[in-house]
Structure 1
């Protein structure tokens, strides 16, 4: 059975841009913030509800705020996926999502009073609702981003990412090669020829044991006699039905048919 390509485990020092920005913790914080905003809007009688008793205003405003919070999370997630180049600028993504959610929230804010005993405003009042809703959506989006960013920073400092374990094979490097980058390991009888950024040398070890100890370096066994680090490949070409890898030191590494399919799937050749 062909062994899989070995890939290193990347340290989680920074949040991945491709990671989903919406977590259950973020949902909880956002809903709490929405409750505070809804209570405030109900207290001041926003959207023309000042004539409604304050208890009824609260009952009216809180569900709207919760609906806005969920819609805001969805639009923020959509914005992050459509504009990944701004993943390091969450404030901008939050403002964009606030603009996107304004039209549907304007309709909700205008239409909901019509189900109350006091009725609602005519459709001619819709433009006035748009401005107030835009300000509310932008403000709430900024608040949500701020709350979740602060929590993320606290979690990052409180729980530093674990340091990946050292590559065991590096302890086998001869003294003259210590600190070098391992580019390839080539089997020669009972020995292994090490191709590194500081030159070559031989050590007594089986290739299978070396491959196991090279865990942590992105690389793969490409031939029954060769293991190669991906960063060491300077060129890859195909000819006569076989692929050949050229290393940074000029060494040419044959790729056997057994491993060629896996390498193509990983985009090596």
Structure 2
């Protein structure tokens, strides 16, 4: 079994192979393309095709998610994903389905009709996949300085923020000039950190992406080593989203 398929199965079965198989069964039972072949062949064809399509979709969505600006607009990412995933799949369906069901290739006149059906199926599957993505609070680099900088204690003004750590009702701000405490909730701090590229890696940690020097993984968990040697945990809840965003 390929590494990618293992990740798809073990990472989130409902989002991976389970959804692909369910979609394949649905297409076979509803005879989506009007085939005259038996149910067994339709099941085999559609289930295999949907698993392959799921692997292709995961690769595409992971790549698209890393493109500048995609994390900021759900709609733009959705439209781009549907087109990038669906158009190549349309070519595959057009080139293969006729041979499987009718023993001969589809003609060019069949292609336009296949496009909207494949894109519709792709849109539904993409929407399900995006809705089930793990939610991780992320911040993005921007033109203006983040509001959070105004909360830095006087001795840390002008320092580069590496991480923010929740400690009871306080936050410890880790910078290139040392650390200090302020009274604030982490959720509020993340909102005010917009303007810096970073993400929440744990319920108690936000990390600046540029501060990450090394990543270590083991036993299903990961830790980030930041500038200055600070070790930050990555929880299971946030690991997949960070991995998909290219953090490691």
TM-score (norm 2): 0.50
- Identify the structure with bigger relative contact order (alpha carbons < 8 Å, sequence gap 6+): 1
TM-score, with length taken from structure 1: 0.46
